[in-house]
Chains A and B, each alone.
Chain A
Amino acid sequence: MITTSQHPSAITAQVMENLEVAPGHYRMSLCLPDFFDLPHPGQFVMIREPGREEPLLSRPFSVYGFRKENDQGILDLLYRVVGRGTAFFSHLREKSSVSVLGPLGKGFTMPTSVRNAVLVAGGVGVAPLNFLLQQFHERASDFREVGITAYVGARTSALLVGMDRLEGFCDLRVSTDDGSLGYRGAVTDLLERDLGSYPQDTTWIYGCGPSGMILSLSRLVRPTSLRCQVSLEERMACGFGACLGCAVKTTDSQGVTNYRRVCSEGPVFDIRELSQI
């Protein structure tokens, strides 16, 4: 079973591409030195423009893709412009430098006993699940028998991002709030219709998306014995466990409530541990 073992480094990377792939959504590819460890799906990196004093802090982005090419690592990120930080990033051009800290955090669990991997993504939350899918395929010797189904939702068809890396690589089910493509309604409603067909002991559900989606997913999964992990998003200052800013309330199996750090004890949590969800 693989969760995390990677050693993060602080490095300077070069932007290879920063493309608007959907309105307000960008895919950025960064060229990294060879020693940058292969991230585990669900891990993230902290990104900042070196020398720029505003915005002050780095921003966290989950890994969307990673590959080795000519002794270099190519790291793909998929992001939506939501504030000052992401607005700055959207203006980065080819060959710009960015500071990268990572890979950070604990990723998704990929047990070799899994037979059905169900990915549930809302909007740009598709990014880490895309990388998870890629890793299931790349580690084919361990995961030959895994059937992968992806449930992907967005507000409207134009905002369905990352589809090019899903189509043909898994059984794909799509929903849009406005019905412009696929099922009309929430992605979790789409999942609900199929949920009974997944064997409870060999199915793992992996989710990432807005808090409303995580909440609905929790309501669906809690009455079952299906395993479910979700990747969370929080405001972060450091990204490596020092500032305690990105806390999330959790309750363990003994009923003990505590705050845990999204950056270092997460961003991936068992959905049943999350107290507020």
Chain B
Amino acid sequence: MGMKDNGEFIDMRVDLAGMELRNPVILSSGTWGYGVEAPDIIEQVDSSRLGGIALKGIFYEPRCGNPTPRLAETSGGLLNAIGLEGVGVKAMAEEVLPCLHPRKTRIFVNICGTSREEYARITGELVQKAWDLFDVIEVNISCPNLDCGGMEFGTDPKSAAEVAGAVRKAAEGKPVFVKLAPLVTDISSIALAVAETGAEGLSLVNTYPAMLIDLDRRKPVLAKNFGGLSGPAIKPMALRAVCLVRKALKTHALSTAIIGMGGISSGRDALEFLVAGADAISLGTINFVNPLAYEKILSAMEEIMRDRFAQTGNPEDLRVRFWSGTLTLN
């Protein structure tokens, strides 16, 4: 609940697969380290203002990540091939998550594997060793920067559903969100296959596979040749993915939750994703531009909602959950 405005309250709370989030703004995996970095470093950052944080993805074992350069800026975007450098599940359960306890916001643990079994094993360990320390398992089947694992599971409905099913079984009731790859023939069919396993939610979308070339050297800019594109450049494509998936879910009478993400940089962007069918939204690249972007985006959302209410007089316009899925297609 937020500021008072002419006797009406702004209500930013949302329901995400049965969980209440204090607001719909989450920070995307890979853009906020293990949730301790920025709040620890920059005092102005206040995690308790967030709806949630998705932690940097982990495999079962610790990983070194890709060679450098791992980053390059593009027009309106950021190309990365970090390669899921990570601490592994043991350190996640025994060191990282206890550090975030008591948690100030919803914690999403993002996991990745090279086999269905690895995804299930990571989930099993988290559930067994750290049940009380996190809220959601986010399953990454969409990282474009791995030699094996990651995106290979996210480009085919059958293998996506197999991974989702295996994690769900191991999760023992902890909500499972599956993060999908956007550059596929038909994202709706993958989303439906995942939703039908009973997965509680979908994170839409991961980065778009892309590349940059250094013309003078006639070499790719990134050491790994290709990377994943994020930032404002991908926003219209990500918005389309959210819209298509929500439509397909509705058609199949599925109420699977959606976290919309892809280049969100303003309050207006955030509300567009909600209107397109997301229940919450996630910020990625904009966190690098400004680690306090979430504050700016939250207040901009509230301002747009108040302006809308001033025009319509409809109290639902002051409750952000009522913005979700209100898009009318032509």
B85 lies within 8 A of A243 (CB)? no
Name the B residues within 8 Å of A247 (CB-CB). 65, 68, 70, 85
Q: Which of A56, A237, A246 contacts B76 (CB 8 A)?
A: A56
- In Å, the complex CA distance between A191 and B96 comes to 45
Interface string of A110-138 (1 = CB under 8 A from B): 00000000000000000000000000000
The reply to whether the CB of A234 lies closer than 8 angstroms to some CB of chain B is yes
What secondary structure prevails in chain B residues at the interface with A?
Answer: loop
* Segment 217-234 of B: residues with Cβ below 8 Å from A: 231-232
| A10/B78 contact (C-beta < 8 A), A48-B289, A247-B68 known | no
The reply to whether the CB of B41 lies closer than 8 angstroms to some CB of chain A is yes
Nearest chain B residue, comparing its CB with the CB of A11: B44
B68 lies within 8 A of A248 (CB)? yes
Name the A residues within 8 Å of B42 (CB-CB). 7-10, 101, 240
Nearest chain B residue, comparing its CB with the CB of A248: B68
B71 lies within 8 A of A56 (CB)? no
The reply to whether the CB of A245 lies closer than 8 angstroms to some CB of chain B is yes
Name the B residues within 8 Å of A242 (CB-CB). 31-33, 37-38, 287-288, 291
Cβ of A276 to closest chain B Cβ, rounded Å: 9
- In Å, the complex CA distance between A55 and B77 comes to 9
The reply to whether the CB of A182 lies closer than 8 angstroms to some CB of chain B is no
Name the A residues within 8 Å of B291 (CB-CB). 10, 101, 238, 240, 242
The reply to whether the CB of A99 lies closer than 8 angstroms to some CB of chain B is yes
Interface string of A210-241 (1 = CB under 8 A from B): 00000000000000000000000011111111
* Segment 37-76 of B: residues with Cβ below 8 Å from A: 37-38, 41-44, 56, 64-65, 68-73, 75-76
* Segment 268-294 of B: residues with Cβ below 8 Å from A: 285, 287-292
B85 lies within 8 A of A56 (CB)? no
- In Å, the complex CA distance between A54 and B232 comes to 11
Name the A residues within 8 Å of B38 (CB-CB). 238, 240-242
- In Å, the complex CA distance between A234 and B287 comes to 19
Name the A residues within 8 Å of B80 (CB-CB). 237, 243, 245
The reply to whether the CB of A53 lies closer than 8 angstroms to some CB of chain B is yes
B41 lies within 8 A of A56 (CB)? no
Max chain B CB contacts within 10 Å: which of A53, A235, A237, A264? A237
The reply to whether the CB of B30 lies closer than 8 angstroms to some CB of chain A is yes
A259 lies within 8 A of B65 (CB)? yes
The reply to whether the CB of B318 lies closer than 8 angstroms to some CB of chain A is no
The reply to whether the CB of B82 lies closer than 8 angstroms to some CB of chain A is yes
A243 lies within 8 A of B231 (CB)? no
Name the A residues within 8 Å of B232 (CB-CB). 53, 56
Q: Which of A10, A84, A235, A241 contacts B290 (CB 8 A)?
A: A10
Q: Which of B32, B41, B72 contacts A264 (CB 8 A)?
A: B41
Cβ of B110 to closest chain A Cβ, rounded Å: 13
Name the A residues within 8 Å of B44 (CB-CB). 9-10
B43 lies within 8 A of A9 (CB)? yes
A241 lies within 8 A of B76 (CB)? no
Name the B residues within 8 Å of A104 (CB-CB). 41
Name the B residues within 8 Å of A246 (CB-CB). 68, 70-71
Name the B residues within 8 Å of A8 (CB-CB). 41-43
11 A-B pairs with CB atoms under 8 Å apart are A10-B290, A235-B69, A237-B71, A237-B78, A238-B31, A240-B42, A242-B287, A247-B70, A247-B85, A248-B68, A258-B64
- Footprint of B on A, CB under 8 Å? 7-10, 48, 53-58, 84, 99, 101, 104, 234-248, 258-259, 264
The 9 closest A-B pairs by CB, nearest first: A245-B71, A238-B288, A237-B288, A242-B33, A241-B37, A240-B41, A235-B71, A242-B37, A244-B82
| Known A9-B43, A235-B70, A258-B64; 17 more pairs at CB < 8 Å | A54-B75, A57-B73, A57-B288, A101-B290, A235-B68, A237-B78, A238-B288, A239-B288, A240-B37, A241-B41, A243-B33, A243-B82, A244-B30, A245-B71, A248-B68, A259-B65, A259-B85
